[in-house]
Amino acid sequence: MIQTDICIIGAGPVGLFAVFEAGLLKMRCHLVDALPQIGGQLSEIYPQKPIYDIPGFPSINAQELVDNLMKQIEPFKPSFTLGERVETVNRQEDKSFILRTNEGTEIHCKVIVIAAGLGSFEPRKPAIEKLEEFEGKGVAYMVKNPEHFRNKKIVLAGGGDSALDWTIFLSDVAERVTLVHRGETFRGAPDSAEKVFEMAKEGKIDLVLKSNITKIDGNGQLKEVHITSTEGAASVVAADHLIPLFGLSPKLGPIAEWGLQIDKSQIAVDTTDYSTNVEGIYAIGDINTYTGKLKLILCGFHEGAIMMQSAFKHVFPDQRLSFKYTTVNGVNAF
Ligand code: FAD
């Protein structure tokens, strides 16, 4: 069981900066994110877009902001569970909480901060017969650790950047990579598409165009992928893993089940400290709602600073908090 003062659900920009504010008050944080990488919407949706409204930065690239935030919180040594979604929250007799992820990881904490943005990014699942039966038994919707696919037969499906990028990357790791795409051209970056066509020509990968995966099969573990072309020709490819990459869409998911006051898929908070209706649980960033709310990164940063002052009383009930500037507190807290 992971032990921490504060468990932050969501490692987007707001969750990351909250670690800094907690660290100044000597509170330790563990972050959980359903995505395999940190950065929330910035890394997942618009890593190369410039952002113009971060104070002190006339322009900053989204991924650079995430990298900077990671550097800023480094002194506070946060720990991370990535690629896992928080499913349940249980309050203990002493008012602390135990959170459990979909993969069984348990986190024990005194305070929960929900910085879950638009919700958990869930994979768009294609209509393939028996797809869900083989989830975790060969079917995966994201690549958490490429080493998992070393010397394996991989079938990828999709026509966007993720499908192209992972085809290129895994071709050096896997025994064989097959990319199945329903079109003839790709939506992803032209450079990547060109590389994939070239690799297929050189025989480094198998490229199956104008085709759909219709069914998968195996014996408790995935063994084969059935493909049908738009002209109706059927074929079967041996596969250890199928990775359908048809994008992600955010869903509030299990957060709706935790007894929180939800208003139009967002969590209602008290703006004096961004606390929710459940004592010890706070909500900051895009996930919360209140009169005048603006879904901006800088507003989430502000909310994190205010809420950590309030969280202090749950983590250190016997201590009095006196506000200090960073020059006084320093950042080498641990
Ligand atoms: P997010 O960035 O959404 O991160 C939340 C994280 O929580 C996600 O990674 C998600 O996987 C995770 N999560 C959710 N539920 C769970 C769960 N149950 N278990 C585990 N993990 C979970 N804002 C600006 O200020 N300036 C801009 O220029 C700007 N441009 C934008 C451009 C675009 C195209 C978009 C889409 C948004 C833009 N925004 C901009 C808005 C900005 O991205 C958001 O305000 C910001 O990302 C909110 O940060 P967050 O940390 O609250 O949430």
Residue 290 is assigned to a ligand binding site: no
**In angstroms, how far is the first alpha carbon of the chain from the final one?**
21
The complex's ipTM?
0.99
Cα–Cα dist 159/326, whole Å: 48
pLDDT in the model for residue 63? 95
Residue 309 is assigned to a ligand binding site: no
126 C-alpha vs ligand 1 centroid, how far in Å?
A: 25
Burial class (CB in 10 A: 0-12, 13-18, 19+), 294: exposed
> Is 123:253 a contact under the CB 8 Å cutoff?
no
pLDDT in the model for residue 206? 97
The count of other CB atoms within 10 Å of the CB of residue 147 is 7
Pocket test residue of 32, 103, 141, 297 for ligand 1, highest count of atoms within 8 A of CB: 297
> Is 275:282 a contact under the CB 8 Å cutoff?
yes
pLDDT in the model for residue 328? 55
Q: Of 43, 61, 44, whose CA–CA distance to 52 is shortest?
A: 61
pTM summary value: 0.81
Mean pLDDT by runs of 10 across the 334 residues of the chain is 97 98 96 94 88 95 97 96 94 96 96 94 90 94 87 96 92 97 93 96 97 96 96 96 90 88 94 97 97 97 97 94 72 60
Sheet of strand 262-263: strand arrangement: 262-263, 266-268, 288-289
Residue 33 is assigned to a ligand binding site: yes
Whose tokens are 């983590």? That residue is 315
User: Angle, nearest 10°, between helix axes 13-24 and 62-73?
Assistant: 20
pLDDT in the model for residue 161? 87
Which 3 state secondary structure label does DSSP give 89? strand
pLDDT in the model for residue 189? 87
pLDDT in the model for residue 247? 86
**Alpha helix (H) ranges present in 151-291?**
161-170, 190-201
Ligand 1, atom 23, lies closest to the CA of 296
User: Which atom of ligand 1 sits closest to the CA of residue 52?
Assistant: 28
With a Cβ cut-off of 6 Å, ligand 1 is lined by 9-15, 32-35, 40-42, 45-46, 51, 53, 85-86, 115-121, 253-255, 285-286, 295-298, 300
Q: Which residues of 152-187 are buried (b: 16+ CB within 10 A; e: fewer)?
A: bbbbbbbbbbbbbbbbbebbebbebbbbbbbeeebe
